[in-house]
Chains A and B, each alone.
Chain A
Amino acid sequence: MSRDYLARKLAQAALTIVAIAILNFLLFRLIPGDPVRSLLPRNVSTQQKQELRERLGLDQPLLPGLYQTPQGLRLKVEQIPDTLVENQFVTYLGNLASLELGRSFFERKAVLDVIADRFWPTVILVISAEALALLLGILIGIRAGWKRGGPFDILTINPALVLYAVPLFWLAMLLLFFLATPNGIPVFPSQQMTTPGRQFAGPLEAIPDVLAHLVLPAFSLALGLFAGYALIMRSSIIDVLGEDYITTARAKGLRENDVLRRHAIPNALLPTVTLVALTFGYVLGGAIGVEQVFSWPGMGTLIVRSVTQKDFPVLQGLFLLITISVVLANLVANLLYAVLDPRVRR
């Protein structure tokens, strides 16, 4: 990988993250109404409000000289020099740098701790779903593309096209209905990550129970994802099979299987592998709905909860975490492509 390429991609990612930090700041200052009022019970005194305002730093200007007043934004030019450092944006940046994301409005905890509790369940769900989806998608895509127009292609690609149009949460609802309620065949648990009320001697003891709870959410997510991977892999294989080097491989006397395995697949995998990282944001989005259906205690249900409770600090923290991880996933996609494709590698 050329140093230039690496440097350019790193710089891009860094710039994007800075832009996200700014957007995050602006978005949550756009909330209509007095932010303090939504935090406190209705019957508190003006003085209490003022105290909270000061404690949260809301009396400071947003940016140098830019004040948020009940009448809207007001720019006081003469105040700019005095508030170059003492403004909400600088405070916000300082807090970000020290990973101080504030406290949840509803749980008596720091935002970071609230999110930390919900981090691993989502990671487990997303990774198992991705693994499943990739496996299915790649295998089916290769087979379908190789025998394009054949029965396998027609029988897999049309359902994949339909699956691509199914909202993930609805797929989750159907799976839950048919496989976790008495209305279908209740083979799997329907809610949470572990059986409620059950005590485990240690983390190892919990694994079978967690796995049982994982099956349906992971499958819902994977079914929605695999379709995209299968379609990309298929068209990628079709493209590659038309390349001259495939003719060369056939001319050399390779079996069709080896032509596919040694010459076509390594080339066709490139776009698919990159797609995994590029669609990371979409996957996280899909996970929100699926978690909601199965009450999976991850970041998705946390987002929905903080939306309904208007727990803005938590929502802000999640937004930051998710967007930044998506940017990093994009960076990984670019670097991965460079590692896998010798043409970019240098």
Chain B
Amino acid sequence: MNLLSSWRRRAAGFWRLFRRSRQGLVGLGILSVFILVALVGPELVGRVDRAGTFDQMLDPSGGHIFGTDRAGRDLFKVWVHGTRISIAVGIIASLITMVIGAAVGIVSGFIGGRVDTALTALSNFFYVLPTLVLAIVLATILGPSLLNVIMVIAITSWPGTALIIRSQTLSIKERMFVDRARAYGAGNVRLMTRHVLPNVFGLILANTTLTIAAAIFLETTLSFLGVGDKNTFSWGRVLEESFAAGALTLGKWAWFVPPGLGVVLVVLAFTLVGGAFDEILDPRLRAREAGRAEEPPEAVAGAVVGT
């Protein structure tokens, strides 16, 4: 099978294009640091323990670089653990989003007809609803748990993906090779998994990256508003606690600045990387952003013809 080498070749080509995007590289740099913290950080800093009265609400110092909270927990450790939870929730939620969105999009675009009409109407309906409000209501009804928050994010986020994947599927369907494969008697499922899926894969990847940013954003906001898991300290949950404990008036900036900064940097990083993916996939966008100077139609025609 040449499948592996073909994927490797594709990946190499992809990386060559990605390397050109300065924004993409900055995003990737920030991201690597945070992923590393999320992977090994919690084990390195150890468990987050409550502590005695004398250790509560301490200001940042050598021992506790972000200080401690009302229960005497070391806020730096809390922050490190929060990094893992926030990023994990974001990634898991967007993977589910992707599976739902891609499945709906591919089926809708490929099968067409009434199935398409129904699925598109459904996607459009959920797309219009205000994400945060729907998420708050759903989270309240389902009850506050990490799993529920993940489900809520997926339920509210899939339509955008579905609509994008659908339109891409439509254009792929038009192309010759699907017809040729169909002539050999391949079934719909086989066509969708073997021909459509590999061709929308790049788009799915770019979209997942952007969805992770949105998912982390959403989780943070939900937790801050008090509909998140009360027992898990994601960044948003830390922010909620700091706010409820009056960290703002008490001047305990090291309680609420690091988690917020974490969200900003990670969301920014995922957005930058996703933007770079998008540019690679959409040549029109690439030309616009990269070629500071547009080439005159004539000169381009000449140059293209000459190659």
Which residues of A approach B to under 8 Å, CB–CB? 16, 19-20, 27-28, 30-32, 148-149, 161-162, 164-167, 169-170, 173-174, 176-177, 181-183, 190, 238-239, 242, 280-282, 284-286, 288-289, 292-293, 303-304, 307-308, 310, 315, 318-319, 322-323, 326-327, 330
Question: Cβ of A165 and Cβ of B137 under 8 Å apart?
Answer: no
Known: A165-B271, A169-B239. 13 other contacts (CB 8 A): A28-B141, A165-B213, A165-B217, A165-B267, A167-B264, A170-B239, A170-B264, A173-B243, A281-B131, A292-B224, A292-B225, A307-B140, A319-B134
Nearest Cβ on chain B to A185's Cβ, whole angstroms: 13
Given A31-B141, A161-B271, A183-B251: A281 and B130 interface contact (C-beta under 8 Å): yes
Given A30-B141, A31-B141: A162 and B125 interface contact (C-beta under 8 Å): no
Contact among B129, B140, B213, B264 with A315 in the assembled complex (CB-CB below 8 Å): B140
Contacts of A16 in B (CB 8 A): 125, 128
Is the C-beta of B40 less than 8 angstroms from some C-beta in chain A? no
A174 to B261, CA, bound (A): 11
Contacts of A242 in B (CB 8 A): 294
Residue of B nearest to A316 (CB): B137
Contacts of B129 in A (CB 8 A): 20, 281, 323, 326
Is the C-beta of B172 less than 8 angstroms from some C-beta in chain A? no
Given A27-B141, A285-B133, A304-B226: A177 and B264 interface contact (C-beta under 8 Å): no
Is the C-beta of B102 less than 8 angstroms from some C-beta in chain A? no
Contact among B133, B248, B264 with A173 in the assembled complex (CB-CB below 8 Å): B248
Contacts of A183 in B (CB 8 A): 248-249, 251, 253
Contacts of B131 in A (CB 8 A): 281-282, 285
Is the C-beta of B263 less than 8 angstroms from some C-beta in chain A? yes
Contacts of A31 in B (CB 8 A): 141
Question: Cβ of A319 and Cβ of B133 under 8 Å apart?
Answer: yes
A32 to B148, CA, bound (A): 13
Interface size class of B (residues with CB under 8 A): 35 or more
Question: Cβ of B253 and Cβ of A307 under 8 Å apart?
Answer: no
Nearest Cβ on chain B to A136's Cβ, whole angstroms: 20
Nearest Cβ on chain A to B68's Cβ, whole angstroms: 18
A-B contacts, 16 of them at CB < 8 A, read A19-B125, A28-B141, A161-B271, A164-B268, A170-B256, A170-B263, A170-B264, A174-B260, A177-B248, A181-B248, A183-B249, A183-B253, A190-B248, A282-B132, A303-B225, A326-B129
Nearest Cβ on chain A to B176's Cβ, whole angstroms: 31
Contacts of B267 in A (CB 8 A): 165
B151-171 CB contacts (< 8 Å) to partner A? none
Contacts of A28 in B (CB 8 A): 141
A301 to B248, CA, bound (A): 18
User: What DSSP secondary structure best describes chain B's contact surface?
Assistant: helix
Given A165-B267, A303-B136: A173 and B125 interface contact (C-beta under 8 Å): no
Contact among B220, B268, B294 with A162 in the assembled complex (CB-CB below 8 Å): B268
Question: Cβ of B137 and Cβ of A319 under 8 Å apart?
Answer: yes
Contacts of B217 in A (CB 8 A): 165, 167
Contacts of A286 in B (CB 8 A): 132
Is the C-beta of B9 less than 8 angstroms from some C-beta in chain A? no
Q: Which of A164, A170, A304: most chain B Cβ within 10 A?
A: A170
Nearest Cβ on chain A to B246's Cβ, whole angstroms: 10
B112-132 CB contacts (< 8 Å) to partner A? 125, 128-132
Contacts of A165 in B (CB 8 A): 213, 217, 263-265, 267-268, 271
Q: What number of residue pairs across chains A and B have CB atoms under 8 A from each other?
A: 128
Contacts of A149 in B (CB 8 A): 292
Interface string of B200-227 (1 = CB under 8 A from A): 0000000000000100010011001111
Contacts of B249 in A (CB 8 A): 181, 183
Contacts of B227 in A (CB 8 A): 307
List 4 tightest A-B contacts by C-beta distance, closest first. A281-B130, A285-B132, A170-B260, A165-B268
Residue of A nearest to B217 (CB): A167
Nearest Cβ on chain A to B203's Cβ, whole angstroms: 20
Interface string of B176-187 (1 = CB under 8 A from A): 000000000000
A239 to B294, CA, bound (A): 11
Contact among B133, B220, B272, B294 with A303 in the assembled complex (CB-CB below 8 Å): B133
Nearest Cβ on chain A to B268's Cβ, whole angstroms: 4
Question: Cβ of A32 and Cβ of B143 under 8 Å apart?
Answer: yes
A140 to B225, CA, bound (A): 32
Question: Cβ of A315 and Cβ of B137 under 8 Å apart?
Answer: yes
B228-274 CB contacts (< 8 Å) to partner A? 239, 243, 248-249, 251, 253, 256-257, 260, 263-265, 267-268, 271-272
A326 to B130, CA, bound (A): 7
Question: Cβ of A176 and Cβ of B264 under 8 Å apart?
Answer: no
Question: Cβ of B226 and Cβ of A307 under 8 Å apart?
Answer: yes
Question: Cβ of B130 and Cβ of A322 under 8 Å apart?
Answer: yes
Contacts of A280 in B (CB 8 A): 130
A280 to B131, CA, bound (A): 11
Nearest Cβ on chain B to A247's Cβ, whole angstroms: 11
Interface string of B275-297 (1 = CB under 8 A from A): 00000000000001000101000
